[in-house]
């Protein structure tokens, strides 16, 4: 006699294999009629230790009968933590121990390990204080809470918490249409269906404020008002940092009109018609409901040019708020939005914590470079949120004032920053900024500014710049080059933030460094062009320009594809979320180049007759030809004539056909996919490239 369970399983399998079977099962999961069994929470070995436990990366050790906390040797290219090797027991009577916690801004990113906020604060407070630096790059709320709790083994007298910038990117990774996990996708779909595109962003904010609230409540419970707590409310670069993102699908022809308006607004700004640009930007905000950061940035630029600076500040704050992780296409930069700042103010007041409010402090601070603008910019910031030496001194001076407010002491002036340290940080601002900045305008002025500033701070950094260029031109990983090994012994030793693991040509950095070095009297361009031609010039075998290192703007892709995040499914094709795709072609311009495209237009549900159109191929801005394409893969070979090619670096651009006018239908289809636990795109995919092979044409 057959097993009844087997018969039932066979019948269930047949039902699930039917047209609507899988969707029915997913809807049962969505409504929690069919719930996944809860996995038992595993016991974490050592989760309730009887003895000393690690404090972040510092582990307990016995040395000479005394308990210390010791960290491993840092890696050659640095790591996320302070360099202090050992933290000993508090010894001096009358000394005050301050523990500082936070993210990369609090860790002194781009200046560390040579200059850090903790070190500056210690100098300002004087010798009767000891500041323990427990900040780290890429800090999250969960790990910071664990570090704060463990830090009480150090007998702290005061806590300083400097966080909030990372929350928009690191705290809610599961609230995404791309992340694996059926239940996560279904929750995302529920939020979309209930509240539209505001739904996932609001879901993320609720989770973030709940976790941050729990952390601050735990700190209040640990200190019980016996230990003072200072919360530093972060500020971000509103003047100089852009967050160019494409819009999500809008109803009807909204997405098509938005992209056309974006191009129009940029053209107006480029030609000085700032009021026309403002009108177009405001029309874009009407289209996208204020949810796209790029629309706000265009408005910031137009308002600033028109002298309406208070309005420009509010528009810049709206740009930061609109950069919500759950609805981004491109990888954004960590920055604290106004709602994060306000949350920190309210929570600190509720728990009796003191605050150092950087938005208010910086707004009152006169700066030579930003003197005519209420938007904090590059005098206080190196990039999107990391502070300049001036910014660090000002912020930590306010913290020192708060700590010393009950005494007659005044903060000590910090030691001037060494020229080599200042130059290295500014070179880091150029390189890291080039990697992370998605500029609405031309990115090169931003990169060149910081290259020039680095040379002005210390002309001797020119050799580190040369080595960075040589490594970037190499045919293999930069970390394996002689230039990188040589730099390890340099007084301007470059670390991870300087892009040693970056696997792209970095043409913006190459051009900016060559320009700055040659302006300073260091000829380098001929050498670098020779290396690029030697290692990267197209030959008869050909190179695929859609693969590293030849993408012109590597982050101008859907961010899971750009970052290759672990656990996210990789793709065999290049997909463009933007109307144009740029690629870098290296050639001696001594012959024609044959370009073989294998492309298609991804199908979009509801498009009558399917997608069809023409791709326009340009080289260095000159139109070469158009290529007809549709939803089926097609291959076309074209010639790039020698007379249109530049020696060494060329930009090949594919301009895709306009979007179909079916935005509402596409969003509904995306929601249905997510409800079924299937990945979905909320942003249009303009085109897809399987390969873009460039070969030297036959002589």
Same domain for 664 and 548? yes
CATH number, position 579: 2.60.120
Same domain for 426 and 570? no
What are the tokens at 592? 């024609």
Q: Which residues pair with 259 in a beta bridge?
A: none
Out of 536, 559, 580, a domain closes at 536
183 inside domain? no
Other CB atoms within 10 A of residue 452 CB = 18
**CB contact at 8 A, 652 and 617:** yes
Segment 540-561, tens digit of pLDDT? 889 999 998 999 999 999 988 8
Same domain for 590 and 511? no
What are the tokens at 329? 């296409």
20 inside domain? no
Same domain for 566 and 598? yes
User: Rounded to whole angstroms, how far apart are CA atoms 243 and 294?
Assistant: 6
532 inside domain? yes
pLDDT band at 673 (very low <50, low <70, confident <90, very high): very high
The counts of H helices and E strands in the chain are 23, 17
Q: For the packed helices 507-519 and 444-457, what is the interaxial angle rounded to 10 degrees?
A: 40
Same domain for 338 and 217? yes
Same domain for 338 and 210? yes
Out of 381, 407, 433, a domain closes at 407
413 inside domain? no
Same domain for 372 and 461? no
Out of 322, 343, 368, a domain closes at 322
User: Rounded to whole angstroms, how far apart are CA atoms 242 and 329?
Assistant: 15
pLDDT at 92 over 90: no
Residue with tokens 């028109």, as numbered in its chain:
306
User: Rounded to whole angstroms, how far apart are CA atoms 584 and 379?
Assistant: 33
Residue 428: domain span: 420-536
Q: What is the mean pLDDT of residues 35-46?
A: 44
User: Rounded to whole angstroms, how far apart are CA atoms 270 and 264?
Assistant: 10
Separation in Å, CA 116 to CA 29, 71, 106: 49, 18, 8
Q: Which of 92, 84, 88, 161 is nearest to 126 (CA)?
A: 92
pLDDT at 39 over 60: no
Same domain for 450 and 475? yes
180 inside domain? no
Same domain for 566 and 514? no
Same domain for 529 and 559? no
User: Rounded to whole angstroms, how far apart are CA atoms 141 and 575?
Assistant: 33
DSSP state of 365: -
* Domains of the chain: total: 4
Segment 204-237, tens digit of pLDDT? 999 999 999 999 999 999 998 799 999 999 999 9
Same domain for 458 and 527? yes
Half-sphere exposure of 596 (CA within 13 A, CB side): 14
Of all residues in the chain, the percent with pLDDT exceeding 90 is: 80
Of all residues in the chain, the percent with pLDDT exceeding 70 is: 90
Whole-prediction pTM = 0.92
Q: Which of 201, 211, 187 is nearest to 328 (CA)?
A: 201
Same domain for 332 and 476? no
- Give the torsion sign (CA, 644, 547, 323, 439): negative
Phi, psi of 178 (to 5 degrees): -105, -20
């Amino acid at each position: 006699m057959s097993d009844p369970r087997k018969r039932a399983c066979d019948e269930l399998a047949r039902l699930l294999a039917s047209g609507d079977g899988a969707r029915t099962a997913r809807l049962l999961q969505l409504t929690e009629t069919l719930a996944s069994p809860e996995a038992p929470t595993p016991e974490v070995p050592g989760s309730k230790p009887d003895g000393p436990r690690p404090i972040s990366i510092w582990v307990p050790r016995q040395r000479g009968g005394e308990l210390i906390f010791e960290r491993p040797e840092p890696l050659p290219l640095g790591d996320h933590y302070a360099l202090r090797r050992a933290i000993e027991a508090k010894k001096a009577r009358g000394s005050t121990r301050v523990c500082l916690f936070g993210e990369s801004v609090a860790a002194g990113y781009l200046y560390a390990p040579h200059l850090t906020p903790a070190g500056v604060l210690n100098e300002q407070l004087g010798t009767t204080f000891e500041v323990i630096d427990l900040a780290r790059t890429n800090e999250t709320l969960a790990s910071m809470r664990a570090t704060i709790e463990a830090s009480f083994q150090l007998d702290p007298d005061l806590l300083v918490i400097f966080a909030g910038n990372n929350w928009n990117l690191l705290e809610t990774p599961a609230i995404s249409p791309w992340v694996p996990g059926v239940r996560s996708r279904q929750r995302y779909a529920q939020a979309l269906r209930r509240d539209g595109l505001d739904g996932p962003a609001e879901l993320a904010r609720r989770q973030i404020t709940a976790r941050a609230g729990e952390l601050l409540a735990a700190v209040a419970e640990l200190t019980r008002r016996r230990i003072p707590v200072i919360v530093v409310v972060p500020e971000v670069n509103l003047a100089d940092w852009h967050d160019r993102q494409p819009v999500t699908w809008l109803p009807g022809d909204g997405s098509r009109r938005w992209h056309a308006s974006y191009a129009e607004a940029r053209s107006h700004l480029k030609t000085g018609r700032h009021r026309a640009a403002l009108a177009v930007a405001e029309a874009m905000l009407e289209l996208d409901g204020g949810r796209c950061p790029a629309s706000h940035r265009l408005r910031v630029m137009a308002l600033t040019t028109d002298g309406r600076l208070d309005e420009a500040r509010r528009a810049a704050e709206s740009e930061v708020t609109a950069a919500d992780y759950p609805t981004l296409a491109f990888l954004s930069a960590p920055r604290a939005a106004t709602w994060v700042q306000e949350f920190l103010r309210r929570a600190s007041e509720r728990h009796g914590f003191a605050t150092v409010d950087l938005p208010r402090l910086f707004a009152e601070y006169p700066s030579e470079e930003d003197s005519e603008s209420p938007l904090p910019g590059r005098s206080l910031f190196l990039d999107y949120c990391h502070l300049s030496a001036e910014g660090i001194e000002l912020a930590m001076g306010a913290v020192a004032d708060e700590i010393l407010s009950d005494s007659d002491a005044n903060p000590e002036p910090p030691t001037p920053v060494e020229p080599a340290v200042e130059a290295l940080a500014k070179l880091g601002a150029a390189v890291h900024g080039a990697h992370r900045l998605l500029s609405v305008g031309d990115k090169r002025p931003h990169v060149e500014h910081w290259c020039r500033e680095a040379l002005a701070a210390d002309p001797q950094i020119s050799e580190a710049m040369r080595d960075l260029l040589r490594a970037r031109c190499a045919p293999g990983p930069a970390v394996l080059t002689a230039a990188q090994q040589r730099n390890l012994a340099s007084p301007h030793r470059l670390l991870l933030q300087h892009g040693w693991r970056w696997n792209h040509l970095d043409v913006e950095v190459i051009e900016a460094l060559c320009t700055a070095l040659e302006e300073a009297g260091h000829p380098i361009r001929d050498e670098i062009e020779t290396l690029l031609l030697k290692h990267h010039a197209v030959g008869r075998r050909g190179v695929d320009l859609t693969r590293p290192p030849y993408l012109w703007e590597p982050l101008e892709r859907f961010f899971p594809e750009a970052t290759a995040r672990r656990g996210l499914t990789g793709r065999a094709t290049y997909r463009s979320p933007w109307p144009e795709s740029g690629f870098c072609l290296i050639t001696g311009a001594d012959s024609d180049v044959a370009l073989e495209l294998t492309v298609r237009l991804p199908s979009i549900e509801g498009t009558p007759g399917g997608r069809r159109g023409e791709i326009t191929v340009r080289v260095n801005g000159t139109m070469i030809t158009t290529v007809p394409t549709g939803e089926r893969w097609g291959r076309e070979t074209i010639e790039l004539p020698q007379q249109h090619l530049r020696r060494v670096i060329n930009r090949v651009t594919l301009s895709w056909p306009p979007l179909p006018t079916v935005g509402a239908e596409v969003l509904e289809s995306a929601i249905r996919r997510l409800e079924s636990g299937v990945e979905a795109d909320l942003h249009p995919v303009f085109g897809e490239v399987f390969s873009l092979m460039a070969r030297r044409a036959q002589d």
